[in-house]
Amino acid sequence: MRVAINTGGGDAPGLNAVVRAAVLSAERRGWEVVGIRRGYDGLFFPGGVVPLNGAAVRGITHLGGTILGTTNRGSPFSFPVEKPDGSVTMEDRSDEVIDRIQKLKIDCLIAVGGDGSLRIASELAEKGLKVIGVPKTIDNDLQATAVTFGFHTAVQTATDAIDKLHSTAEAHQRIMVVELMGRHAGWIALFAGFAATADVILIPEIPYDLDLVAAKINGRWQQGPEFAIVVVAEGAHPKGGEASYLEERGPGGKRRLGGAAYRISRRLAELTGRETRSLVLGHLQRGGRPIAFDRLLSMRFGTAAIEIAAQGRFGCMVALDPPRVRAVPIVEAIENIKSVPMDDDVVLAARAMGISFGD
């Protein structure tokens, strides 16, 4: 077998651990592995497909980012192509991707990615490419797997940051509003907010009412601790309103989330009359070394992907179904995003301890 591996979409801690695990376990079967750099882009530029062996992946398990590079601009089905006049148009190059992969005598592609990358993988599979998916995203918003790698590292990073906010918030008797990633799912905000003992957690799944949040904060001031920590997921929105978006747009004119913490902090300052500051943790949540949990999951996923390829179960994705890793059809993972259910244990525990969700 000659296997290719690529990493697509936003990076997540653990990508390198997946690559190393897949390469080492494939090598032990006597297979050959190549890496495609920057998603599918590497198929179209010189040096974009690199041989991977034990030596090439030595010492990378603990590193953040991805040695293969990644991209979340476009896809083979809507590929940005620069015209001689400098303008950029989107073209369907999926047939060329399949053609290039065949010419490189690649028998199977291991596509490591989130919902966007897995959707691409699934569409390429429909066109006849032999693909195995590996689910990745710090957002943890993929169906069909109990958890994605990268999520718990992002939660740890966010928890550490919120821990640090407590002392400055208390010293100045301020309300601190911190915005976390997660797109339209509230997993990172929920887990980090709860772990870091926030007073209020606002997530997309529970539309908020800032009058209720202000009442919660005022009540806290009366009880003694004269500071408050509000954790807001970037996709959170008020009851009957929409999420906050930046003015600039992403590739293909896609709207980009941003500004929730600022918007909320301004309104809370008005409603409470208290000093309020906001911050956005942003891409810090994607960086750094994967914690042990994510390394373990990544290595289990990487080796399982090779095992599934050996079984010929193409069009499948590896998934954690505790206590085992198993194969599920990629389409199962991308049908809908995995939102936080209202009866999630962490939501219930947080409510039981008096944390407000603004509802």
For ligand F6P, the binding residues (CB under 6 A) are 10, 72, 114, 137-139, 181-183, 234, 257, 286
Cα dist. 329→54, 120, 127 in Å? 30, 14, 16
CB of 193 to ligand F6P, least distance (A): 15
Residue pair 178/159 in contact by the 8 Å Cβ criterion: no
Nearer to ligand F6P, 212 or 288 (CB): 288
CB of 225 to ligand F6P, least distance (A): 30
CB of 25 to ligand F6P, least distance (A): 27
Question: What are 229's strand-pairing partners?
Answer: 176
| Cα–Cα distance for residue pair 260/180, rounded to 1 Å | 9
The DSSP element (H or E) to which 108 belongs, if any, is strand 108-113
CB of 213 to ligand F6P, least distance (A): 23
| Cα–Cα distance for residue pair 25/208, rounded to 1 Å | 48
Burial 268-293 (b: 16+ CB within 10 A, else e): bbebbebebbbebbeeebbebbbbeb
| Cα–Cα distance for residue pair 15/7, rounded to 1 Å | 7
Cα dist. 299→17, 54, 184 in Å? 6, 14, 28
Nearer to ligand F6P, 16 or 140 (CB): 140
Nearer to ligand F6P, 162 or 175 (CB): 162
CB of 186 to ligand F6P, least distance (A): 11
Nearer to ligand F6P, 112 or 181 (CB): 181
Nearer to ligand F6P, 25 or 278 (CB): 278
Question: What are 108's strand-pairing partners?
Answer: 3
Residue number of the CB closest to ligand F6P reads: 181
| Helix, strand or coil, per DSSP, at residue 183 | coil
| Helix, strand or coil, per DSSP, at residue 87 | coil
| Cα–Cα distance for residue pair 20/7, rounded to 1 Å | 12
Whether 359 is catalytic is no
Catalytic residue among 115, 139, 141, 199: 139
Where in the sequence numbering do the catalytic residues fall? 139
